Each structure stands twice: as C-alpha cells, then as structure tokens.
Amino acid sequence: MVNIKRELLVESLKEVLKRGDIRGILSYKGWEPLWIMSEEELTQVDVTPMSELNLVSIFMNQEKPRLKRGESPDKRKVALTLKGCDSKSLIQLMAENMVERDSLFIIGIGCEGVVSRKKLKEKFGKRELKVERYDDRNYRVVIEGDVEIVPKDEIMNDKCRVCRYPDALIYDLFLGEKRGEQKKEDKFDDVREIESMSLEERREFWQKEFERCIRCYACRNACPLCYCEDCILERLNPTWISRAVESRENLFYHFTRAYHLAGRCVDCGECERVCPMDIPIRLLNRKLIKEVKERYRFEAGLDPKASPLLATYKIEDSEDFIL
Amino acid sequence: MIVGRLRKEKEKGLYQSIINKGVLIATKRDGKKVVYKEITTPEEIVKVGRRGDDSPAKFVFPQTSTLFKFKLEKGGFKIIPEDKVFPERVIFGVAPCDAQAISILDKVFLEGDFIDQGYKRLRESITIVGIVCNSPLPYCFCTSVGLSPFDQQGMDISTVETDDFIYFKGITDKGIGFLETHSEIIEEVDQNQFEEVYRDVSHSLEMPKVRFDLGKGVEACDRRFQSRVWEKVARICISCGICVYMCPTCQCFDIQDESKGFEGRRFRVWDSCQFPSYTLEASGENPRGQRAKRVRNRVLHKFNYMVKTLGQVGCVGCGRCEEFCPESISIENIIENLIEEVSANE
C-alpha cells in the first residue's frame, strides 16, 4: 500500500476512536485483519503492502449477537480502512441494500498494489517477514533482519495489474496519496487465453482444477458479496449440490458460485487469495465480468445507487445470445 | 529382514518395483504445491525432506467414501455391501507429524467399543514408509506438542538418508514384510548400522522452535472453556473449512444418502465443526450457533477432549491450519494466549 506514515495512520485512527460514535475500527496487522476497540489495540495496527485481504468480507462475516430483552442494538458505526478494490465491493453491497452508508465510517487508503501472500511464500518460504514500500517499482522485503529489494511484478497480487481504481471510491477520511483513476484498460488476457481453447481443452482445464477442490467453502465465505442466509449448498432437501466431493459436483459448485456473482463481482480477488488448493477462481469470475462489460457496458461496484444489473431491463440490452 | 539399505542409484528401481506390484503414493508437484499422489513413473517423485503441502492421511481416511449401495426391489430394499478390494498401497515419504496423525486416526477408528470396518479394510492395504524431517517449514511446531522431526510413531518402515544410501528399518510386521518382498533391491545390514546413522542424522537436525509448554497448554485448555480468547479469534474467523480439511487428524464426517431412480448409495464425507450446519439439530436449535463456540471446539477437541479420550494431544504440530488460514489465525498463538490468560488470573 501507499507510503502512509505509520505515525500519521495511528494519529488519525486515534482521532477516529475518539469520535464517540465508533464501535470499532477494522484495519490490518500485516496480513491479518485487526479489530481496534481501544487505544491499546491501536498500537498493533500496521497497514502495509501486506494488507492484501478485503476487510469488507470480515465486516460482512460479523455475527449479530442476539439481543436480550430490553437491550437495544449497538448502532455505533464501524470504521473500515479500505483500498480501492475493497471499496468497490462495499459500493456493490450498498447498491444491493445490504449495507447502510450511515453505519460505516470509511477511511479510504491510497494503494499502489498489494503483495500476494502466496507468491511471497513461494519465493521466500518464510513466515516472519515484512513488506514495505521501497519506490514506485519495488518492494522492500525484510526477512529475519535481511533486506531484499524485490520488483513489484514478481510478488504483486495479479488483481493489481488490472486495477483502475486504486483509491477508495467512497470515504469519510482519506489517508495517504491519491493516485486517481488509472487510464489502463483491462484487456482480459487471462480470460481470452481460456476462450481460445477448444471446448474439449477447456473442459479438461477446469476439470483438472476442480478435481483438487476440497469444498472448504472458503471462496464462498470470503466473498463479500456471498451473503445469502440460506445457501444452496446447505440445502439437503432437495440436494442441489451433493455433499460428495467429486469432480462433477465440484464443477457444479464452482459454476453456481460464479453465476451468482454475474454482474455483481467487483474482482476484489478474495476467492482466489483464500483458496488453499490454488484453484484459479478469479478467472471464472472475470469471464463473467468480461461478458457483462461487453454486453451491457456495466461494471459493478462503481455507483452505490445503481440498480443491480440482472434486476433491470433496458430496451437496448443485447439479446443475441438468447435462444 | 528388519534393517536394510539401498544405494541411491537404485532408488528408482525400488519405486518401479512397488509400482509393478501395487500402488505407490508419494510426494509430487501439482501446480505450485507438493502433494501426495499416486505415482505412475518414478521420475514424478519430488522428495522434499518434510511434510507435503497436503496430508497423506487423506488416503487412509478419504474425503468421500461409499459405505454401501442400495436398490429397491420387489419386497423391499436390498443392501449391496461395498466390498471393493483395495490394492496394496505404499505411501512413501510420510513425515513424522503425518505418521503420528495416522496413528491417531487409527486409535479413533480401530480402538474402543466400535471398530470401523470400512476404515479397517482400507487401512490394512496401506504401508507407511516414513522419513526423518530435515527441512521443517516456518509453520511447523511439532516440538511444542511433544513430537520431534525424527519420531517413528505410526510408521511401518522408518527410513533415513545419507549421501550414498537410504537405510530402512521395518517397525511393524507389515513393514518387515515389505522389506522382505523387496530383498532383491534392498540389501540387509546390521541393525546397529541403522541406529548409528539415525542417531547422527537426528542430532544434526534443525528443530522447530518450541512455542509453548505442552503441559501448561493442556492445563490452560482444561481451565479456559470460558475465555475472551475464543471471542477474539471469532471476530476475524470466517467459518470456512480450511483448518479442518487441511488437518491430518481431524476425523469428523457426515453421512448422506443419495438415490437416483430405484438405486442409491450411502456415503460418508468429511465434515467441519467450523460450519454452522455441523451441529444444527432437526428442531432448528444449534448448540454451537456462535462462531466463538465453533472455534473453541476445534482447539479444545485436540488439546482437551482427545487428551481425555485417547490419552494424547490430537494436534501433531504440522502447522497447516495456520499456513492456509485466510486470516492467518494461528493455533499456537491461541494456546499461548490461553496460557497467558491463566497465569494472569492467578
């Protein structure tokens, strides 16, 4: 993430805590999410290029405690430190009426691309390391006291390569430097590569990937936009998707998950980040993002007032794919 | 033959011979990971000198397995038992943590009042060839749970490597039988020779750091059923099944029936205590409806309940749960925090 001075971050968050209407701040401690309820917890905060995860998914995964008789719900706000991509998922949730803007205090954070924990693990195989900004093109990796300068291209999360909105799109407070909308266009090279395969090759490709799936449902749970209280996966009567972990059922699971995100996915990359089996889940979502963009010129997560794509009809919508 | 050795040049010959006689499972590269898989040619094997990224326990206790099939006929249901004969399978390169994990699974399924017949049949077809772990990962903490990188518990055969040789020692009858089957390739040597090499290698090993005192950890778990630690972890946990499904000793399963037309099957499939549906009762009540209770269950099952039922800790310190946790939740940190909480309250 961008070169926010830690002192500035801590001071700003301290002010946020003092506002009095804040239940807690959800921020980062390296790779980990960190809830800050007190000034003591604030000392652990560390927003760095390691802040890869999307805090909106932790926010959405919060449990709502059952209220005792006569107890009123805690209406205080939750403060979130958000990158551009994370803010898009929040905007999409607002468009779907799942989150109220007033329940949040958003601390926007300028971002220059986050590090992929998987890539870093593969490269260094270490647990105790720190990644800091070095300059525009490099990260500074500190491993057990040794410093190494690593080019961004080597360890940056793939989603950052095609990122157009590095700054949080909505915020109450902005920390760090804004970079503005990036002019680069997402050419969907990864999706095109799969599209260029024959039907048979594509089937083989996905079958091989889904064979590894252990159905831990981390991709579903980590997705900020998977919020159904009654999920098709938990249904046993009728059983839409068998509990049996076999490649046919896995395929059905992943396709169902992806389709449910059509016109909604903002490409925050959480699904792929969490997958313990390295299944390229983002690729499936991106195929849908590409289709939605080409057919309806729509991009999810940009306008909190936008009507959900699949719930609207426009006379000029393309119909050529309907049989 | 109890002890033997093999010149490293002949290693591939041994693998080929196992493949010819049955099934060989060993570590091989799959994408970016090194996983246990069936080997078709000896060249595929990638030896890493540590545990694989996934656990070989999945061959002993597969994620999905059919218990029996059924068929509706005139006069009622007909049960068709699942009596598939498993080929002889050899799992090569099992690290001490995973071997210990399989021995824990054995205790769960094969000891006590009820013996799991399906597990038993599958288990009997498997021979475990263990290794000395000489390159522990940064997530490893076997030394904190009373194990070490050179334990032999759960192995049928223990192996140790020098520059020129691989030494084998048969521990169980099955292991000795294996060595005898391959006596053309593996030459018999004196047992002392093995012990000497084993001692030398063990002494030169890099040991994972001891993170907590096991006795104190077990005691803390026994005393901190109610603790703020559970609440704190639950605030960032997303209730996925990674920690459970990557764990070599987690052994909970769900049983499902599935039918199509007049035929169907009953199968069992891994289940995870982190899923809210795990303890959901027919009435709608869920005794572990809150995430903190589910987080607690996984930790206490290993560090308290299994201590009471099996007489040993159910965690082998492989560190996979933390390595793959999306939020980097660490079971060692949880135990450390519980210990701190206990001492702070005294």
H-assigned helices in chain A: 6-18, 39-42, 55-60, 84-95, 117-124, 152-155, 158-161, 189-195, 199-211, 218-222, 247-259, 270-274, 281-296
Q: Any chain A CB within 8 A of the CB of B48?
A: no
Instruction: Indicate the pLDDT class of residue A1, thresholds 50, 70 and 90.
Output: low
Instruction: Indicate the pLDDT class of residue B65, thresholds 50, 70 and 90.
Output: very high
Give the closest of B242, B291, B326 to A53, CB-based.
B326
Is-contact B149 B96, C-beta < 8 A? Answer: yes
Return the pLDDT at A2: 53
Q: Any chain A CB within 8 A of the CB of B256?
A: yes
Average pLDDT in chain A: 92
Instruction: Indicate the pLDDT class of residue B35, thresholds 50, 70 and 90.
Output: very high
Instruction: Indicate the pLDDT class of residue B164, thresholds 50, 70 and 90.
Output: very high
Answer whether residue A12 shows pLDDT above 90.
yes
What is the spatial distance between Cα A260 and Cα A243, in angstroms, rounded to a whole number? 19
What is the spatial distance between Cα B48 and Cα B26, in angstroms, rounded to a whole number? 11
Return the pLDDT at A146: 92
Return the pLDDT at B85: 85
> pLDDT digits over A142-170, tens only?
998 899 999 999 999 999 999 999 999 99
- Closest-CA residue of A relative to B280 is A234
What is the spatial distance between Cα B152 and Cα B206, in angstroms, rounded to a whole number? 17
Q: How far is A296 from chain B (nearest CA, A)?
A: 33
Instruction: Indicate the pLDDT class of residue A3, thresholds 50, 70 and 90.
Output: low
DSSP conformation letters of A266-294: ----HHHHH-TT---HHHHHHHHHHHHHH
Give the closest of A58, A127, A217 to B139, CB-based.
A127
| CA distances, B291 to each of A54, A78, B232, B237, B258 (Å) | 20, 20, 10, 8, 30
Instruction: Indicate the pLDDT class of residue A6, thresholds 50, 70 and 90.
Output: confident
- Closest-CA residue of A relative to B245 is A216
Write the burial class of residue B91 (CB in 10 Å: 0-12 exposed, 13-18 middle, 19+ buried).
buried
Enumerate chain A positions whose Cβ falls within 8 A of a Cβ in B.
30-35, 53, 57-58, 61-63, 118, 122, 125-128, 212, 214-218, 220-222, 234, 236, 239, 242-246, 270, 273-274, 276-278
Q: How far is A235 from chain B (nearest CA, A)?
A: 10
Return the pLDDT at A10: 94
> pLDDT digits over A43-60, tens only?
999 999 999 999 999 999
Answer whether residue B82 shows pLDDT above 90.
no
Return the pLDDT at B324: 96
Return the pLDDT at A142: 94
Answer whether residue B156 shows pLDDT above 90.
yes
* Type and span of the H or E element at B147: none
> pLDDT digits over B179-215, tens only?
999 999 999 999 999 999 999 999 988 899 999 999 9
Instruction: Indicate the pLDDT class of residue A229, thresholds 50, 70 and 90.
Output: confident
Return the pLDDT at A312: 87
Answer whether residue B308 shows pLDDT above 70.
yes
Tell me the residue ranges of DSSP E strands in chain B: 3-7, 23-30, 33-38, 64-73, 76-81, 89-94, 126-130, 157-161, 165-170, 187-188, 253-260, 263-270
Give the closest of B137, B256, B327 to A33, CB-based.
B327
Task: Tell which wins on pLDDT, B323 or A319.
Answer: B323
Of the candidate ranges A245-254, A306-315, B162-171, the one whose mean pLDDT is the lowest:
A306-315
CB contact under 8 A, A218 and B244: no
CB contact under 8 A, A32 and B238: no
Phi, psi torsion values for A281, nearest 5 degrees: -65, -35
CB contact under 8 A, B238 and A222: yes
Q: Report the relative pairing of strands A77-82 and A104-109 from DSSP bridges.
A: parallel
> pLDDT digits over A238-279, tens only?
888 999 999 889 999 999 999 999 999 999 999 999 999 999
Return the pLDDT at B112: 87
User: Taking the complete model, does pTM exceed 0.90, yes or no?
Assistant: yes
Give the closest of A34, A61, A128 to B238, CB-based.
A61
CB contact under 8 A, B238 and A35: no
Q: How far is B269 from chain A (nearest CA, A)?
A: 6
CB contact under 8 A, A243 and B254: yes
Return the pLDDT at A35: 96
Return the pLDDT at B213: 96
Answer whether residue A300 shows pLDDT above 80.
yes
Contacts of A31 in chain B (CB under 8 A): 328
What is the spatial distance between Cα B1 and Cα A228, in angstroms, rounded to a whole number? 61
